[in-house]
Structure 1
């Protein structure tokens, strides 16, 4: 089953949040239990230390531990003063306790056995239920008093849980010295396992753990809700982009989407708007291109049609002069069609270019010699400002480069007044070769400079058409320069006319 981006993002964010919550719950539970147990044990040790001080005082008063051996209730009283209790052995009259705190065996009861009617009811006289083996004993049951000979005086078992090896018994036996008059008279021992033994403390611990689980459950639900809201917020620009792209496919290039953020999605929306603007501009240029081409072809075709119809109707005689005029019109149309073809080839990257080292000095010299004869017809002077003996090597197609500079010099011939001046400059600048061709007046308006390389653009349409220009020459030159990896720009010439600067990469030989 293929999932959309919404469930993918939602599941990814939800699973990541759940993993974080789970790790936090486990770690916090362990940390809280461990810390609380350590705190509880420290609190127990404080009580044991206090009991050791009291026992030291009592020992100094009685000068022995017999007061506890003979009267075990004193042990319970001392623990009661600390807020603790201890299971007491069966009571015996004073003097009946054996050495070591163990009572003598009781003699069997005298007399005949009681009658059945004198027996207590079934629910009476039963032994109390055994203590819960899984419930840790209180502090009083885990305390013992040892004398100076390490003999137990009174107290609970060394292993109060009765199962050495049980996980609850994983703790340690702590011994606190009992001193009387700076003399060691015994030890108070306490067995501390790895769990909390106080009932109230255990209840508090369980309550806090339950609260922790409730908080984790609440955090899970909150993360579920936030994941939905956040994924919807993140996908809203994506939906807008999808809808905008669908509208663009219908040809509505004026479509724009709102840029609400400055993050990656916002930059993506801005890129979409830029793309839509470029498509809209290209569509306008395409419509203008079709209109300009139809206009350029309609005018010479209309002239040819009128001239031929006049000849067919006998209005005009087919003299050599009129036939020559028709031939000139046909050549102009052929030039326009050839320019369109060359421009289409360069646009589609099908313009064939030979990649070989070319001496640009030789190409410029040949182009200048070819254009010099035409420039002399209008008494336009041509000056070359480069050394013919200094080779400037570039990688490209010599024929296309010759055509490039021939077109630029042809523009100088058409748009420079008689008696003007044309200069060609070529020089090396770092790892590039710069060639500039400039002419004298007339100049180009400032507003027209950025549009000179647009297709079919003319500064003066009527004058350009009369001079044989199609408005495609500079566009073809621009494509040829870019195909060689160079740049071309137009500026005002110091001579009063137009400056065209061409920069090409230098080829190392």
Structure 2
């Protein structure tokens, strides 16, 4: 890093020069003012305009006052500028790529300066956390994409080499891998757009019960063939929402229950809680481990990693639901059902 004059030294030199100049101005200004007063307004009986003793007294006062003023100015400047020098040094380190740099505030720092240092350190910590999250996000995405891409490449290379026959079964398996990739990309797109505030929503009054009934009718056969029974408990509520996004969120919730819950009943309920619409999906267990319940809405977090791998879950389903609900001004919450199962509540804004 190029050597440069420190911020403290630069400002201290400037303040010292100002103090000296101010002292000289006081001295000579007082001298000439006193001379002018004596010259124009001297009483007839007065002695000559400025005696040697007057000059000595005035000079002595200035010489005593000047060091005191300079000392006070330097002490005050140091209290103000030491934290600012630390802040400037940390800012240069962060700009150079060292996100762990933090500014230090001395115990004597003034209140506003100390607050500035605290705000800077909070900002630097958030920047470091965001960089770490981005690195983890990129690594996780690469991991999620690698498996289906490896399968696709291996199967296609096997077909080229004549190891596998390009029959209907093989092609269907390849299509399933492609569908998984497409779902992963779409889920990533939804979460990213929602987190950046750019998720496109078309908010209109929606008869939510009707939408849920249509989805239930479409999914009834698939769920029953997998050992699930779908139960509806719906109030006829009109909600201001994007119907397409809500269908996407509800499908993700039902799919999540189908992958992770025990065979049994999945209940979809729509009620109002203090005039707030709440759409809930509840299963019969086994629920979510309390140790990860607080992180379950984060991207790529899985309740049971082993089972998620078996069922093809990409760990983004609940993140997509959370993102959609937050884009609507609401939120997603988890509760343990009386039966011990998982109950996810999509809470809309009132």
Question: Could you state the TM-score of these two structures normalised by the residue count of structure 1?
Answer: 0.55
Q: How does 1:34-433 map to 2 (within 5 A)?
A: 133-134=44-45, 218-261=64-107, 263-388=111-236, 391-394=237-240, 396-430=241-275, 432-433=276-277
2:162 match: secondary structure: coil
1:230, CA displacement in angstroms? 0.9
Q: Secondary structure in 1 aligned to 2:114?
A: helix
Matched, 1:479 2:323: yes
Query: How far does the alpha carbon of each residue in 1:285-334 deviate from its partner, in whole angstroms, 9 at most, with x for none?
Result: 22222221122111112212222222222233222222222221222122
**CA–CA distance in 2 between the matches of 1:242 and 1:135?**
60
Which residue does 1:498 correspond to in 2? 342
CA offsets per residue over residues 357-385 of structure 1, 9 Å max, x none? Answer: 33444444444444444332233233333
8 Å CA contact 2:231, 2:265 repeated in 1: no
SS at match of 1:134: coil
Q: Give, in angstroms, the shift of residue 214 of structure 1.
A: 5.8
- Contact 1:439-1:499 at 8 Å conserved across structures: yes
- Alpha-carbon distance in structure 2 between the residues aligned to 1:498 and 1:215: 83
Q: 1:26-71: per-residue Cα shift (whole Å, max 9, x none)?
A: xxxxxxxxxxxxxxxxxxxxxxxxxxxxxxxxxxxxxxxxxxxxxx
Looking at structure 2, the residues matched to 307 and 314 of structure 1 have their Cα atoms a distance apart, in angstroms, of 10
| Structure 2: gaps spanning 5 or more residues | 1-6, 31-42, 48-52
What secondary structure does 1:358 align onto? strand
**In 2, distance between residues paired with 1:397 and 1:238?**
49
- Could you tell me how far 1:244 is from its partner in structure 2? 1.0
More contact order relative to length (CA 8 Å, sep ≥ 6) = 2
| Structure 1 residue 212 displacement after superposition | 9.4
Decide whether the 8 Å contact of 2:270 with 2:277 is kept in 1.
no
Q: Compute the displacement of 1:220 (Å).
A: 4.9
Over aligned residues, Cα RMSD in angstroms? 3.5
Larger relative helix fraction: 2
Q: 1:502 to 1:222 in 2, by over 3 A?
A: farther
Q: What SS does the aligned partner of 1:494 have?
A: coil
Shifted more, 320-329 versus 341-350: the winner is 341-350
Taking the aligned partners of 1:374 and 1:239, their CA distance within structure 2 comes to 66
Paired residue total: 317
Provide the C-alpha distance between the structure 2 equivalents of 1:8 and 1:401, rounded to a whole number of angstroms. 65
CA distance in 2, matches of 1:371, 1:415: 17
- Secondary structure of 1:344's counterpart equals helix
Change (3 A) 1:318 1:271: same
**Partner Cα distance (2:13, 2:299) in 1:** 49
Distance 1:269 1:133, change over 3 A: closer
Equivalent residues in 2 for 1:458-469, closer than 5 Å: 458-469=302-313
Distance in 1 separating the partners of 2:19 and 2:118: 30
* Cα distance change on mapping 1:343 and 1:133 into 2, 3 Å: closer
- Greater Rg by CA: 1
Following the alignment from structure 1 to structure 2, what is the Cα–Cα distance between the partners of residues 363 and 282? 38
Q: Is the Cα contact below 8 Å between 2:280 and 2:343 reproduced in 1?
A: yes
Q: 1: distance between equivalents of 2:239 and 2:76?
A: 60
TM-score when normalising by structure 2? 0.77
Distance 1:501 1:474, change over 3 A: same
In structure 2, C-alpha distance between the alignment counterparts of 1:494 and 1:418, rounded to whole Å: 17
Unaligned runs of 5+ residues in structure 1 are: 26-131, 137-206
Please give the secondary structure, in 1, of the residue aligned with 2:347: strand
Contact 2:257 2:266 in 1 (8 A): no
Residue equivalent to 1:118: none
Aligned partners of 2:86 and 2:229: how far apart in 1? 62
